[in-house]
Structure 1
Amino acid sequence: MIIVVSRTESARYKYLRHLFGETIDVIFDRRLGQRRQPALERAGAERRQVDRRRAEVNGDLHNLGWALVRH
């Protein structure tokens, strides 16, 4: 598992690293802005599932300042 922390939450990042640093990777969100490009064709069912999971991470980062990601 990975905990992704918003770049604006440095105190939370330090706390989570201290709390989980030995067992769970804690990283800052490294994404820069919107990377999506307009779709040229309709997305399939699997593609929509991936986008939905990404939306949950985005929402958690925005609302909580962090998100738990399973990989």
Structure 2
Amino acid sequence: MADLLFIVSRSEPKRYMYLKHEYADEGKEVILDRRGGDRRRSQKPPPVERRHVERRHRDITPELQASGWVVLRRLAK
């Protein structure tokens, strides 16, 4: 698994391609931001919460909007 994860805004496809090419051989992972909003759009809560733990540790939205990309260090499991 890569130590660094580059997340690139979907509005920056050229930057995504550049970073993907630049770091292809260095064991770094470059992905497009896949978030499109919350999937649960219903006003009523689901009968059972399926998520046991929040996967995201911090909100990267402001950084992603400001620069178009974010670099995160992966935590060892």
- What TM-score do the two structures reach when normalised by structure 1? 0.66
Matched-pair identity in %: 39
How far apart in 2 are the matches of 1:11 and 1:27? 13
- Aligned CA RMSD, in angstroms, stands at 1.9
Task: Find 1:12's aligned residue among 11, 15, 25.
Answer: 15
- What TM-score do the two structures reach when normalised by structure 2? 0.62
Q: Which runs of 5+ in 1 are unaligned?
A: 36-46
Structure with max Cα Rg? 2
In the TM superposition, structure 1's runs of 4+ consecutive aligned residues that sit over 2 Å from their partners are: none
Aligned length: 55
Q: Which runs of 5+ in 2 are unaligned?
A: 40-53
Name the one with the larger helix percent.
1
